[in-house]
Amino acid sequence: MIRAIVAVDEKWGIGRDGKLLFSVPEDMAFFRETTMGKTVVMGRKTLESFPGGKPLKNRVNIVLSADGKARGGCVGVSSLAELRSVLRRTEGDVYVIGGAKVYAELLAFCAEVLVTKIDADGKADVFFPNLDKNGNFRLIGESGEKESNGYRFRFTRYCNIRPEKL
């Protein structure tokens, strides 16, 4: 199953100047626990934003980029057809982890989207599609309000009622 995982601000913003909008330790822990041992798909800029530009440990890291170049410890693909081929040989769940372009390309194929909604305006310059305004997605779960590092947030789960097959 393909899922996406993302943290958004109140305007569905996900980043600014190539960086995350907020530091929310509880959300980072949720991300780590959810994706550990799984396959993650990201764009080149997302990989480069990680410490040292290195892939996430204990996960299969796939980078979808125009050049399809494999980058230290990552599988490189340049198209959805190549990604489909690689995923056929991959076991277990797949998580799309960004950035905006990769989310936009793969959202239709995601059966679920795990969204951490942060109650703040991060003055984003890149955005995730607003799932509340997308007829294919339904909110199916929501945590109570939490607070971490001065930010109020909640974990939500959306289901794609018509996921496309990759």
Q: Using one digit for the tens of pLDDT, what is the confidence trace for 90-143?
A: 889 999 999 999 999 999 999 999 999 999 999 999 999 999 999 999 999 999
Residue 33 is predicted with a pLDDT of 98
Residue 122 is predicted with a pLDDT of 97
Reply yes or no on whether the pLDDT at 23 is more than 90: yes
Mean pLDDT of the chain: 96
What average pLDDT does the segment 40-47 reach? 96
Q: In angstroms, rounded to a whole number, what is the distance separating the alpha carbons of residues 36 and 129? A: 25
Q: Are 124 and 98 in contact (CB under 8 A)?
A: no
pTM of the model: 0.96
What average pLDDT does the segment 35-50 reach? 96
Residue 4 is predicted with a pLDDT of 98
CB atoms within 10 A of CB 36: 12
**b/e map of 72-85 (b: 16 or more CB within 10 Å)?**
eebbbbeeeeebee
Those residues with Cβ within 8 angstroms of residue 133's Cβ, 6 or more apart along the chain or in another chain: none
Strands (E), the chain: 2-8, 13-16, 19-20, 39-42, 60-64, 74-77, 94-98, 112-118, 126-127, 137-142, 146-148, 151-160
Phi-psi label, residue 123: left if phi above 0, alpha if psi -120 to 50, beta otherwise: left
What are the pLDDT digits (tens) for 66-89? 998 888 889 999 999 999 999 999
In the numeric block, the tokens 């780590």 are attached to: 32
Residue 46 is predicted with a pLDDT of 95
What percentage of the chain has pLDDT greater than the value 90? Answer: 92
